[in-house]
Amino acid sequence: MKKIRVFSGIQPSGDMHLGNYLGAVKQWVENQDKEKENFYCIVDLHAHTILRDAKELRDNIRSLAAMLFACGLDPNKSTVFIQSQVRAHAEACWLLNCVTPIGWLERMTQYKDKKEKLNSISAALLDYPVLQTGDIILYDANEVPIGEDQKQHVELARDIAQRFNNLFGETFVLPDPIIPSVGARVMNLSNPLSKMSKSFDEDESGVVGLLDDDNSILKTIKRAVTDSGNQIVFSNDKENAGVNNLLGIYKVITGKSSMQVEKDFANAKGYGVLKESVAELVLGIITPIRAKYKEYISDPQELDKLLEVGAENARTISEPKVSEMKERMGFI
């Protein structure tokens, strides 16, 4: 039987944070123990829609690769590679641009949000979801494990793939977004109404970076915005967003049910206990990852070798696929 194929990506737009880990990368690592074929991509072409500094990008790419391996991606179980090293991605993007109505892109929430925040925007920012569509469908991915913020983009990828299939014949598998039931949207601890983000966080003091030291992580969590009440229960009220976020982090790390989580804090007086428990759990995850990261980042040549093996493997699948696209579209 054909294995389920999984594809997902992460931008080298800054240091990985707790949201990236709990929303996406944790699932990627867990997928390796299932009967699945895994492709995980450092989407550097995407990062350049915003990032402008060449040295920063170069450093970020290696740092993110070291971080992904440190989190547990195993080059023997997953194809881990850099997007720009596999040319089929950029080529597929152009071909898919030709079949994507511009209105579909202008409706994307992320594009609209970023447009508001930036002084000038590139054509690439609007085109971002088309490049992302190519990333996914070149591998005939069945599943795309992501945080909630990317759901709309994967749904668009399905629509673009379907449109291509309708126009030129069955070419692509339609991918499904796989979003974890908890941890899918980790919020900024200082501003719990906005998602934790690498490059777009106006409130950096609320971001838990995987490379932050223990003291700053403790500080970030202890300073987390809560509310004036003292009930430690899940709730969808805006006023309770901070407590909800901390409880969500606690829940995803412990794997407990919501009821069990609330029980754990039923007798707690004030939010201090919740913050301490969350900090302990977060440090328990990050400390060993940081130690492994230091090993990987200290050997850039070995890192590049691992990434080249990944790119080579990715090419064997994506190059024939892009050739098939071109043939179906009439290129000779």
Site residues, ligand AQP (CB under 6 A): 10-11, 13, 19-20, 23-24, 110, 146-147, 149-150, 184-186, 195-200
269 is catalytic: no
Nearest distance in Å: CB 184, ligand AQP: 6
Nearest distance in Å: CB 193, ligand AQP: 12
The answer to whether the CB of 301 falls within 8 A of the CB of 67 is no
Q: Which of 215, 214, 239 is nearest to 227 (CA)?
A: 239
Selecting among 36, 112, 114, 321, the annotated active-site residue is 114
Residue sitting closest to ligand AQP (CB): 23
Selecting among 2, 36, 198, 256, the annotated active-site residue is 198
Tell me how far apart the alpha carbons of residues 118 and 126 are, in angstroms, rounded to a whole number.
13
Gap between the terminal Cα atoms of the chain = 34
Nearer CB in complex with ligand AQP: 95/133: 133
Nearer CB in complex with ligand AQP: 11/85: 11
Query: Which residue in this structure is represented by tokens 């070149």?
Result: 138
The three-state secondary structure class of 234 is coil
Selecting among 26, 195, 251, 275, the annotated active-site residue is 195
- In order, the DSSP letters of 127-186 are HHHHHHHHHHHTTT-SEEE--GGGHHHHHHHHHHHHHHHHHH-S--PPPEEE--SSSSSP
The answer to whether the CB of 212 falls within 8 A of the CB of 281 is no
Nearest distance in Å: CB 330, ligand AQP: 34
Nearer CB in complex with ligand AQP: 189/274: 189
294 is catalytic: no
Nearer CB in complex with ligand AQP: 8/322: 8
Nearest distance in Å: CB 125, ligand AQP: 9
Query: What would the 3-class secondary structure string for 52-114 be?
Result: CCHHHHHHHHHHHHHHHHHHCCCCCCEEEEEHHHCCHHHHHHHHHHCCCCHHHHHCCHHHHHH
The answer to whether the CB of 31 falls within 8 A of the CB of 80 is no
77 is catalytic: no
**Number of Cβ within a 10 Å radius of residue 52:** 8
Nearest distance in Å: CB 148, ligand AQP: 7
Nearer CB in complex with ligand AQP: 136/184: 184
* Residues acting as catalytic residues: 114, 195, 198
